[in-house]
Amino acid sequence: MIYLGQLVGVGSLVSAELPMQPVAYELDGFRTKQGFVLASGELCATGGSLDDYVGRKDVAVVIEDGRRLGIMIGAEVEAVSGARHVEVLAKGLTPAEWH
């Protein structure tokens, strides 16, 4: 795998059935041998809890440049920062788009 870099910033967590939630994100992207993008990282709520978003398939984070990245949020909470691990569902995202 080839490391593509990190996306860091603030954005909005969105879901079809839940209210918008402000979040801070830190995501690392990688290109596989097959040319796909794999990404994961951490997400912190800046104004509430992420509990209702855990395990949902309709969740996305809208990042600072307006792109919408589908994500799955893990149940475990990092003890010190309160961050949650996320997997980015980068369907159709090319390595050139990871910046």
Q: Over 80: is that where the pLDDT of 31 sits?
A: yes
Segments forming the whole domain that contains residue 81? 2-97
Task: For 34-91, write each residue's pLDDT tens digit.
Answer: 888 999 999 998 877 888 888 888 999 999 888 899 999 888 877 667 788 999 987 7
Tell me how far CA of residue 86 lies from CA of 40, 57, 61, 71, 82, in angstroms.
Answer: 6, 12, 10, 6, 13
32-53 per-residue burial string, b: 16 or more CB within 10 A, e: under 16: eeeeebebbbbbbbeeeebeeb
The predicted model scores a pTM of 0.86
The tally of domains found in the chain comes to: 1
